[in-house]
Amino acid sequence: MKARVTVMLKNGVLDPQGEAVRHALGALGFDGVDGVRQGKVIELDLAEGTTEETVTEMCEKLLANTVIESYRVEML
């Protein structure tokens, strides 16, 4: 059993890495990129029977900084 957790900065939180990527894309000739938000994807190999609620608890306690980040859990 697997789960995928996508963690992104919340709207309104500055994203300097995303801004650096946006600037670099423009410098490489990729016009039309108005904004970039960078996040992370965490894939978990889980024991059978692990619930989405357990993965959510993992996010709340460790995987995401819920003050500045939001997350989405997908059970695969």
Please list, in sequence order, all residues whose beta carbon lies within 8 angstroms of the beta carbon of residue 8, skipping any fewer than 6 positions away: 37, 39, 69, 70, 71
Span 2-75 CATH architecture: 2-Layer Sandwich (3.30)
- 8 falls in which pLDDT band (50, 70, 90)? very high
Query: What confidence tens digit (pLDDT) does each residue in 20-46 have?
Result: 999 999 999 999 999 999 999 999 999
Residues 8-19, mean pLDDT to the nearest whole number: 96
What pTM was computed for the model? 0.87
Q: Which helix (H) or strand (E) holds 44?
A: strand 39-45
- From the centroid of its chain, how far is CA 28? 25
Residues 3-30, mean pLDDT to the nearest whole number: 96
The domains of the chain are located at: 2-75
Query: What confidence tens digit (pLDDT) does each residue in 46-76 have?
Result: 999 999 999 999 999 999 999 999 999 999 9
